[in-house]
Amino acid sequence: MRYTTFGHRTGLRVSEYALGTANFGTGWGAGAEPDEARRMIDRFAEAGGTFLDSADGYQSRSSAHAASPSSTATSAPSTSS
C-alpha cells in the first residue's frame, strides 16, 4: 500500500486508497450487514488501508457505527514514520 499526506498542514499520512462505507449497514433497505462490513474493514486494514470514507448520514447512521473502531476486531496499522 502506498501512503500520502492528507491535506497540506495536517501531517496525517493515509493510504492512497480509501474504503467507502456508504453501503455498510441496511438503513436504506440494502447493504452490508454489520459482520460483513467488519470483515471488509479488517481486510482493508490487513492490506494496509487507513483511510475510511464515512458519514453519519450514510445508511441512516449505521454506516458510521459499522466503521467505528469499537465495532471492528482489528485496527489499521500505524503509518507514522
Spans of all domains in the chain: 7-71
pLDDT given for residue 45 in this prediction: 96
pLDDT given for residue 79 in this prediction: 46
Q: Which amino acid is at 21?
A: T
Q: State pLDDT tens for residues 25-75.
A: 888 888 899 899 999 999 999 999 999 988 777 776 666 566 666 554 444
pLDDT given for residue 64 in this prediction: 58
In this prediction the pTM is 0.69
Of 7-11, 16-20, 28-32, 73-77, least confident by mean pLDDT is 73-77
Q: Are 67 and 34 in contact (CB under 8 A)?
A: no
Who's near 40: CB < 8 A, 6+ residues apart? Answer: 19, 24, 32
Phi, psi angle pair for 70, to nearest 5°: -70, -15
- Strands 51-53 and 18-20, by their bridges, are parallel
